[in-house]
Amino acid sequence: MSIRWHVALTGLVILAVLMLQGTDMVLADDCDDCHSSSDPNPSGGYAYDEPVLTLVYDPFYQPDSEVRIRVWISHPDDYLVRDLSGSLSISGSNLELTNGDTGTLEEGADGGQGLYWDLRSSSEGECNISLEVSYEAFFEHESPGSKDLGRYAETLEGTIVIADLALRASPGTVILSRVGEVGSIQLSADEDVEDISVELSTSLEGLVDVSLGTNALSSGGSTAVDLELLSLNETSGYLIIYWKEGGELKQQKVIIRILSLEGGDKSTDIYLLIGQITGGAAFILLLIGYFTGGSGILKKWSNRVFNTARKRIAFHCALSYEVLILTAFHFSTLIYGPYRELIWIWEVVLGEMAFVIMVMISINGIFQKRMIGWWGYQNWRRVHAWGTYLTTFLLGIHIIFNGSHFAWLRDLLGMR
């Protein structure tokens, strides 16, 4: 078969792999041990933006009232957060847990998730809390040397104030992440209050627009403070709520957090991309090589397709050279690129072993006549066939455990 047909076949296989690249492919790594969010184009083509944990509770709670503490996790949508868990510790006697120290998992309407703890307050005073939170970041793609996930833990601390105040604000923390998004703080009065006003901290000026429903409430009344995000500039600040009760000026602070959840830089690492394309194309051509080889019933079918055994063998030899060249590109680009510091990871070592065996098989095929003269035809054929079987087996494991498009299979089989 002429060289143009071999070039055309290789091109079609590469095109097929390129089409596969477009199916739910995410060039990503698992965590910040391989990627830094400050690097605009890290190896692997993905900058990891770690989740943000926010402790949420009201500024003040009345004595003998229900208290709810939340921890909410916010993260870009290019990975999932799983197995969120936490443990709450309380120092002080004026708060008592009512739903256990491990909390209850809750899902948000936007796909976010968090944990909450229900408590009951007793006397006035301050109570310190400490939360040990852990979670798993899971990616749909496995990068070199990673297992699609990273396990993280973080400690959050805060102070709950129990006080007999006439005006209550809820929630005590508002998170804004999209321009035009509106968050609301509900104000409820247990007694008559007047001269209600609000003031933003300087860090939020020009970023958040504030509107207050009314500046006075009678006992049992309620109103809202609406916060609209005008500009996305990741920062934190607070809103101070002032009011008068019984002629005395009081105040509360509500935390405002502006978070950017757009995700990291998704620019493609050219070495990783070339390595994936050449590796996928080489493996497909290797499987086609079984059809054109000299094994059993496949040989008979292949002879019919090519009309003669000579044409089949010529095609098989040319195909083998293409597999070797593509594999060499696959190996060199990845070792030079994202695998350069991961050469001894076992999944990578299996691919390296397969490449060495592939070179030996190629030498065995190129010098076929000389090898047959040394070993005899049957021994030469066994070495050639079983070497190919071993190569395919090693490559199969290498691809399943380290292939970019097989994260779904690893997750399905529990290979995390």
Q: How many angstroms separate the Cα of 100 from the Cα of each of 87, 104, 121, 153?
A: 9, 8, 15, 20
Residues paired with 96 in a beta bridge: 120
Backbone CA torsion sign across 165, 171, 175, 176: negative
Domains of the chain: 3-27+268-412 (no CATH), 31-36+46-154 (2.60.40), 165-262 (2.60.40.10)
Outline where DSSP puts E strands in 213-330. Answer: 222-229, 235-245, 248-258
**Tokens of residue 163, six digits:** 């006080």
* Sequence-ordered list of residues with C-beta below 8 angstroms from that of 125, at least 6 positions apart, any chain: 92, 94, 161, 162
* 175-179, 194-198, 406-410, range with greatest mean pLDDT: 194-198
pLDDT reported for residue 313: 80
Q: Please check the confidence at residue 144 and state whether its pLDDT lies above 50.
A: no
| pLDDT on residue 226 | 95
Residue pair 222/255 in contact (Cβ under 8 Å)? The answer is no
Instruction: Using only the alpha carbons of the chain, give its radius of gyration.
Output: 32
Pairing state between β 248-258 and 173-176: parallel
Q: Which pTM value belongs to this model?
A: 0.54
Reduce the DSSP state of residue 186 to 3 states and report it. strand
Per-residue pLDDT of 236-289, as tens digits, reads 898 999 999 988 999 988 999 998 776 554 445 677 778 888 888 888 888 888
